[in-house]
Amino acid sequence: NAGVMQNPRHLVRRRGQEARLRCSPMKGHSHVYWYRQLPEEGLKFMVYLQKENIIDESGMPKERFSAEFPKEGPSILRIQQVVRGDSAAYFCASSSSLGVQRAFFGQGTRLTVV
C-alpha cells in the first residue's frame, strides 16, 4: 500500500531551465494538491486538481507555473524558466474525496536553482 510518491526527491536546475516535478497519488485517490514551502516558511497552497481538471489554482503564480493531472499517469507540476526564488520544497498530497480532507502527503521534492 504505497503512499504518495514524489520524484525526484532532489532536483537541481540552472536559472532559465525547466523543472518537472511528479506526483503519484495513493491508489484510489483522484484528488491531488500541490504546496510550496520556502525555506523557514509555512506551506502555501498552489493548486488542486482532479483527474483531467484543474479545480482551484488560486495559489499558482500567474506565469511560468502549470500543473496537470492526466487520466493516466502522475500529476506534473511544471516550472518554466526557473529563477532562484523558485528554490523550495514542493509537496504533493492526495485524497479520495472532497470535503473530508484526510489528505496524505508525499515526502516532497527539494528544488534548488543555481
Partner 1 sequence: DAKTTQPPSMDCAEGRAANLPCNHSTISGNEYVYWYRQIHSQGPQYIIHGLKNNETNEMASLIITEDRKSSTLILPHATLRDTAVYYCIVSYSKLTFGKGITLSVRP
Residues at the interface with partner 1 (CB under 8 A)? 4, 33, 35, 37, 42-45, 48, 56, 89, 91, 93, 98-108
Decide whether 33 or 65 has the Cβ nearer to partner 1. Answer: 33
Decide whether 95 or 113 has the Cβ nearer to partner 1. Answer: 95
Question: For the CA atoms of the chain, what is the radius of gyration?
Answer: 13
Query: Does residue 25 have a cis peptide bond before it, meaning omega lies within 30 degrees of 0?
Result: no
Closest approach of partner 1 to the CB of residue 52, in Å: 18
Closest approach of partner 1 to the CB of residue 58, in Å: 9
Strand, helix or coil for residue 50: strand
Decide whether 92 or 113 has the Cβ nearer to partner 1. Answer: 92
Closest approach of partner 1 to the CB of residue 91, in Å: 5
Dist. CA 37–CA 89, nearest whole Å: 5
> Among 42, 27, 26, 41, which Cα is nearest to 92's?
26
Closest approach of partner 1 to the CB of residue 14, in Å: 23
Q: Are 61 and 45 in contact (CB under 8 A)?
A: no
